[in-house]
Structure 1
């Protein structure tokens, strides 16, 4: 396969996965057809079936892709050791993702709220490993008395809930903001507020 073909394939797959995020999030798994996704991606339906044979395969790949993005957001847990730096970076990455890819977060939330019927095996295989790594780092900070004693998983869940709220409940956030999306300044204030609350809650100043 030539470099041009490889790049074309990459772009098409990326376009399909982004379209799948939106359509699955808006219509749900049962209400979505491959034709819907092809239409949203601006590609012939045959192109979708060239890359993804079935709707379930595409659905699962869209969720796997989201997990991969979230793992990149958590790379700061590997590259840095200072809890203030790690958590400040992590919260900002999570918030930015919620703003730029809200449908992905909603797709994930929909699957989880229905008991993860099509993704249960992948939760155990992919999600758990990344969470355990982050929890181990937080536990290390507690043991070294660099942050106040706490349950690592509870801290992670709180960060996830706070940051993904801006994607999962975007219509509510907009309605409470005089029916206008958050401005850049308001978004930055939200990032700073969540960061400050988390850091002060574990004994650090932002």
Structure 2
């Protein structure tokens, strides 16, 4: 049996508070621009208290990335090879847009890491992300070959879905500055636009 004691309720709460603060700081400043002092201030805890729970900035960032990847890949995992091809791809688009709406900080955390060359998550990109994309690209390629959707490059289709959905989280300030939406109403408009665009692109 492990000699580790289960964490107390306070310890769990403090860990969650720290990670939530770290998510705010990392999503704004990126890994390189974030500091332990910034995270401690955001969390309302002392720096030594912060380091009691997480020994380094790297360990906090890694905990966030691990949690992010666990959830971030679920929408693509749900694409069913036995489903209606157009409906499955459009459903994936809409799931990704929903994630941009519901988890904007996580999207910006990922985007900041990629822009900086993915120094802390390249193993994830070259591992589970690449494997999953290869798997689903093969499914899309089969749908193309069997005449169920128009001829498209599976990889560039997936990349375009990422670009047209995560844009609404990663470039939120730009969008709001240009169209001045009421609340999140632009996500509803984007949903209608993207669904129409991808259906027209894919349907025979």
Q: Normalized against structure 2, the TM-score is what?
A: 0.84
Instruction: Quote how far apart the aligned CAs of 1:121 are.
Output: 2.3
Are the counterparts in 2 of residues 77 and 137 from structure 1 also a CA contact under 8 Å? no
Structure 1 residues 159 and 8, CA gap change in structure 2 (3 angstroms): farther
Cα distance 1:173–1:12, how it changes in 2: closer, same or farther (>3 A)?
Answer: same
* Aligned equivalent of 1:189: 189
Structure 1 residues 86, 13: closer, same or farther in 2, change over 3 A? farther
Match of 2:132 among 111, 130, 133: 130
The offset of 1:167, in angstroms, is 0.8
Distance 1:74 1:8, change over 3 A: farther
Matched, 1:174 2:166: no
Specify whether residues 17 and 142 from structure 1 end up closer, same or farther in structure 2 by C-alpha distance, changes over 3 A only.
farther
Report the CA distance between 1:47 and its aligned residue.
5.0
Q: How does 1:62-81 map to 2 (within 5 A)?
A: 62-78=64-80, 81=83
* TM-score normalised per structure 1: 0.83
> Which consecutive unaligned segments of at least 5 residues does structure 1 have?
none
- Does the Cα contact within 8 Å between 1:80 and 1:86 map onto a contact in 2? no
How many residue pairs align between the two structures?
A: 200
Larger RCO, structures 1/2 (Cα 8 Å, 6+ apart): 2
**Partner secondary structure for residue 30 of structure 1:** helix
Pick one of 49, 56, 59 that aligns with 1:57. 59
The answer on 1:199 being equivalent to 2:195 is no
Q: Is the 8 A contact 2:96 2:165 kept in 1?
A: yes
**What is the RMSD computed on CA atoms of the aligned residues?**
2.5
The 1-side partners of 2:9 and 2:136 are apart by 33
Deviation per CA, 1:19-59: give whole Å up to 9, x if none.
22220121222332223223323455455434422111211
* Structure 1, 45-54 or 155-164: larger mean CA deviation: 45-54
Deviation at 1:71, TM superposition (A): 1.2
1:33 and 2:35 are equivalent in the alignment: yes
1:9 deviation in Å?
A: 5.8
Distance 1:160 1:98 in 2: 10
Moved over 6 A (4+): none
Question: Which of 146, 149, 152 is equivalent to 2:151?
Answer: 149
